[in-house]
């Protein structure tokens, strides 16, 4: 069951779908945006075994601050025995994720439906350092 999305900030809407918290990012994800998003992300990943999907389909710009946000979410979810999914279709953002190696530990899905699928493999347990 999908709950109605509620605006949480200019850059993020949070809604629930099939037992997952979906963090739908919007616009330009840079240092300013991530300072606003971080506390909301921390809240979404704070409980036991969080089931979270980060949806980047509405993102127009994504820099290293956004990468740090993804690594933070992954580290927090794995530390709590949860599952993190990622949805990304923008070619430039996908390229950044590939170049940095993030796609190896957090493979992006092409759709929200795919990311919410129970058959999606869990993330690789490697690289949980606090480098970012």
Task: Please report, for the domain that includes residue 67, its CATH number.
Answer: 3.30.750.24
Check residue 99 and give left, alpha or beta (phi > 0: left; psi -120 to 50: alpha).
Answer: alpha
Residues spanned by the domain of 78: 6-112
Phi and psi angles of residue 64, each rounded to the nearest 5 degrees, phi first: -65, -25
- Residue 120, in any domain of the structure: no
131 inside domain: no
Determine the straight-line distance between the first and last CA of the chain, rounded to whole angstroms: 34
Q: Is 94 helix (H, G, I), strand (E, B) or coil?
A: helix
Q: Tell whether 63 is covered by a domain.
A: yes
What is the C-alpha separation between 132 and 118, in angstroms, rounded?
29
Quick one: pLDDT at residue 128?
43
Report which DSSP code applies to 80. T
Domain count, the chain: 1
Task: Work out the mean pLDDT of the chain and round it to a whole number.
Answer: 87
pLDDT for position 119: 62
Is 119 a domain residue? no
Q: Give SS3 for 22.
A: strand
For the chain, list residues with pLDDT below 50.
1-5, 7, 121-132
């Amino acid at each position: 069951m999908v709950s109605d999305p509620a605006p949480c900030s200019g850059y993020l809407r949070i809604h629930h779908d099939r037992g997952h918290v979906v963090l739908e990012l919007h616009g330009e994800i840079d240092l300013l945006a991530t300072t606003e998003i971080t506390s909301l992300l921390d809240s979404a990943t704070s409980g036991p075994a969080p089931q979270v999907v980060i949806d980047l389909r509405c993102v127009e710009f994504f820099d290293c601050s956004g990468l740090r946000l993804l690594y933070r979410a992954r580290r927090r979810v794995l530390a709590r025995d949860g599952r993190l999914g990622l949805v990304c279709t923008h070619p430039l953002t996908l390229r950044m994720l590939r170049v940095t190696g993030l796609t190896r530990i957090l493979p992006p899905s092409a759709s929200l439906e795919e990311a919410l699928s129970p058959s999606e493999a869990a993330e690789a347990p490697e690289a949980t350092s606090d480098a970012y």
